[in-house]
Structure formats: C-alpha cells, structure tokens
Amino acid sequence: MEKKITEFLEKAKQELATCNALKPLNDLRVKFLGKQGELTAFLRSMKDVPNEDKPKIGQLINKARQEVEEKINELQRKLEEKVLEEKLSRQKVDITEPSKVPEKGEIHPLHKVFDKLIDCCVEMGFTVVTGPEIEYDYYNFEALNVPKDHPARDMQDTFFISDNILMRSQTSSVQVHAMETMKPPFRIVSPGRTYRADSDATHSPVFHQFEGLVVDENISMIDLKSMLTNLLSMLFGENTKVRFRPSYFPFTEPSVEVDATCPSCGGKGCKLCKGTGFMELLGAGMVNPKVLEMSGIDSKKYTGFAFGPGVDRLAMVVNKIPDLRMMFENDIKFLEQLK
C-alpha cells in the first residue's frame, strides 16, 4: 500500500508537470481527487490494512491528497494568469484613437417647414386641427363645390378606394370638417399628408399640404393679402416681395395664386425660378359663398378666406433640392445637410 501511494504521487506529479491547459487540469483533478478518483480508492481499501498500520497509511494518504491538491491549485492559478495575459496582449487599447460620438437625431427637413408654418400661424391666432387621410368624396370634392362631373377633378389624380371613399387629394377637405364643427368666428390651419397618382421629380404620390381657413364677419381680400404677406415674410425674411395673380379654384371666388421673391436668388433671377425672380408658392382665395352655405354657415353674415401651400415644394425651395424624392429616400447623409 505504502509503495502504491508513493507511486501514485510520483505519477500524479509527472502528469501535472506536463499539463498546460485548464481543461485537462480539471480532468486530472477529477481523476486524482474525485469521488471515483484514485485517492478515494486508497481510502476505500483502508479496510484491508492491518489495524496497527492504519494511522501511518492514513497519514500518508492525507499527505498525498494535500500535496496533489496544492500542486493542482498552484497550476490552476498559473494557467489562469496565462490565459488572462494572452487575452490582454490580444486586446490592445489604442488610447489615442478618437472616441465614437453618439449620433444626434434631427427633425426631418419637411417637418421643420411644417413646424415653422405652424409657429407663424399660431402666433397670428390660428388653431391647429387635423382631419382624416381616408375621406368621403363629399369632404374632398362635393362640399368644396366640385361635383361628380366637374372638370377640376381631372387635375387631382385621385386614389379611389370605393365609389365614395378616397385617399384625400387635398387638405382642403379639413375646411369642411372645421365649418361643420366650429362656430364662426374661427381661424384654423391643418398640416397633413395628401395623395395623388403622380410621380416625377417634383411630384410624389404621397405629398404634404398646409391648409388655412378664416371665417368671420367682414373678412375681405385685404385680410387675405395682409395675412399671407405677413406669413411669407416670417418664412423667408422681411424683404420678401409677394405677388398675387388671378387664378381659379372651385371652392374660392375670387381665387389667387401667390408668388414670393425667390428664396434662392433673392429676386435676381436664377435657374430655380427660371429667371423670373419669383416663385409660385400657394393657392388661396375668398371662400366661395356656396361652400359656406353647404356647411351651414350663413354667407350673408360671414365671409372667409382660405389658403393652401404645398409643403414639399416649400421644403425643396428652402433647401434648394432639385428632386423631391430625395427627401423621402431616408439617406441620412443627405438629410443631415438640410436646414
């Protein structure tokens, strides 16, 4: 027995001396010290040792266990250190490298224009309201004096969902909701998405409009002109000149097309304004009395004016973007450069 223990100890030391990784070291620990291990086998065979030899053999086994345990623990520490060192030498930290700055979010250029329009109008006493994007024909056309067979429908290549339900082609539909639900006097603006079957560099099937409506007693063309002149100079600066040209919309009478000094060249004439120095920005007019009456407003007592710029066009002008679609491609590098 004594010899066997000494031999075991020798063999264990030799095996540990050649062990150079943590996984095989753990296998050796199980092999030498585990429940089914060799030292436990010695303990089990103690019963066959004559009584007078038991203390001596017992001591021997304990010493062997202690020695093997110490060797294994020491080796484990060394191997763990080695692993850590290897890991650290692989992961070199270059403290001179610039750190990553977290990316900052930005408001989309289109929404910046919306925000500006809203700010200016709220300052002038307007209330912001919204309306549905899926709309009845009645609100989008009929109640705006555009009956079923009216030629003005052709200009608004409308997406119909059924005979009388459509994707709104203009935010003017919100005028009707406002007139139905609000009592004059009121002044509202309504930002939102609009839809038409149209797609090229200056048209997108989804686009954006900003509708305005004022209804009160004694509202005249003077109010329309002064309010819009004010709005455009708030948007583009005090020196902005505004031009009103006669136009036609079924829901306004008289109707105007409103131009402002080209924000790109300041009126000198450039490619963007085709040399005219002016940029066509919105449609407007005095609300057609028929439209007021259809929504239950007494047109003898009340008059009103309405206006509706295309917001995508404003954003294109402000940012000098040649193709409207670039704004919706979600190219962060491009969007970051815009105002």
Site residues, ligand DAH (CB under 6 A): 170, 172, 211, 249, 252, 283-285, 306-308
Q: Which is nearer to ligand DAH, 113 or 284 (CB)?
A: 284
With both helix axes pointing from N to C terminus, report the angle between 22-33 and 2-17 in degrees, rounded to the nearest 10: 170
Place of tokens 């540990």: 16
CB of 100 to ligand DAH, least distance (A): 46
Q: From CA 3, how far away is CA 94, in angstroms rounded?
A: 58
CB of 125 to ligand DAH, least distance (A): 18
Q: Which is nearer to ligand DAH, 281 or 306 (CB)?
A: 306
Q: Which is nearer to ligand DAH, 19 or 259 (CB)?
A: 259
Q: Which is nearer to ligand DAH, 27 or 198 (CB)?
A: 198
Q: Determine the residue with CB nearest ligand DAH.
A: 308
CB of 245 to ligand DAH, least distance (A): 13
User: 185 preceded by cis ω (within 30°)?
Assistant: yes
* Cα separations in angstroms, 36 against 44, 69, 215, 227, 243: 10, 16, 96, 95, 99
CB of 242 to ligand DAH, least distance (A): 16
Place of tokens 């608004």: 156
Three-class secondary structure of residue 61 per DSSP? helix
CB of 224 to ligand DAH, least distance (A): 9
Amino acid at site 267: G
Q: Which is nearer to ligand DAH, 59 or 130 (CB)?
A: 130
CB of 285 to ligand DAH, least distance (A): 5
Q: Which is nearer to ligand DAH, 212 or 267 (CB)?
A: 212
Listing from the earlier edge strand, what are the strands of the sheet with 252-261? 127-128, 186-195, 206-216, 303-309, 278-287, 252-261, 242-249
Q: Which is nearer to ligand DAH, 93 or 155 (CB)?
A: 155
CB of 269 to ligand DAH, least distance (A): 26
CB of 212 to ligand DAH, least distance (A): 7
* Cα separations in angstroms, 148 against 98, 170, 173, 196, 261: 65, 16, 15, 17, 37
Q: Which is nearer to ligand DAH, 312 or 335 (CB)?
A: 312
Listed in sequence order, the DSSP H helices in 99-255 are 109-123, 137-140, 173-181, 221-236
Q: Which residues contact 248 (CB under 8 A, 6 or more apart)?
A: 255
Under a CB-based contact definition with an 8 Å cutoff, are residues 261 and 323 in contact? Answer: no
